[in-house]
Amino acid sequence: MTKNSEIRLLGTVASPYVNRVQFVCNLKSIDYEFVAENLACKSELLLTSNPIHKKVPVLLHANESPTCESLVIIQYLEEIKPDVHPIFPSAPAERANNRFWAHYIDNQFFPLYEKLRITQGKERKEAIKQEIIEGSIVLEEAFVKTSKGKAYFGGDDVGFLDVVLGCFLSWTYFVEKENKFKIFDEVRTPRLVEWTKRIWSHEAIKSVIPTNEIISEFYMMLQKYRPLGA
């Protein structure tokens, strides 16, 4: 179905949303050309492919219109190559459960990392850390219910939610070090701690996860363009 260079991915290696798409391409053995974007000086191709948001990732597939937004893209990849490593469960109620938690992760959980970065004042930062910890406990419960005692949200292997949450792991590690607290820990979130180790060493994922140096550099750029208190 997919030949070399039939699919191009506009992205940057530090973006968790781009990493999601890379994970799914790897899981499904979809060849793609990675077109590196400089977010401080976006290409004409990016601006014309995603005029609404002007953001990565953008997927260009043969003669189709560009596909934007990471969750939209990975559902698209699932639909064009459903037989190789399906990332969604087949039961409608389980698929709904997956979509619900993806929405929670993208709209409530991960935005707290950015809120923590731009917030000033020790007390206000501590309050956000507490919100993140409460979110991690919610995610632990979601993991227990969704994985049904297996290794991943997706069961015996990586599925949709593993990709959706897994892309934030290197950011989690960075935010923990930067702010001197633990987000996932043995006491509060033991299952997610185990899951984290499995994700880090998974064949389709480990080559994509950005290094701490890459995250650090990206963080510096954020500080420059979207400063504290912005």
Residues near a second copy (CB under 8 A): 52, 61, 64-65, 67-69, 71-73, 75-76, 79-80, 92-93, 95-97, 99-100, 103-104, 138
Cα gap 6→35, rounded to integer Å = 13
Q: How far is the CB of 104 from a second copy (least distance, A)?
A: 6
Strand order in the sheet with 33-36: 33-36, 7-11, 58-61, 67-68
Q: How far is the CB of 146 from a second copy (least distance, A)?
A: 10
Segment holding 192, helix H or strand E: helix 190-200
Contact 228, 120 (CB under 8 A): yes
3-class DSSP state for residue 35?
strand
CB nearer a second copy, residue 47 or residue 96: 96
Beta bridge partners of 33: 8
CB nearer a second copy, residue 69 or residue 162: 69
Q: How far is the CB of 145 from a second copy (least distance, A)?
A: 8
Q: How far is the CB of 217 from a second copy (least distance, A)?
A: 28
CB nearer a second copy, residue 18 or residue 209: 18
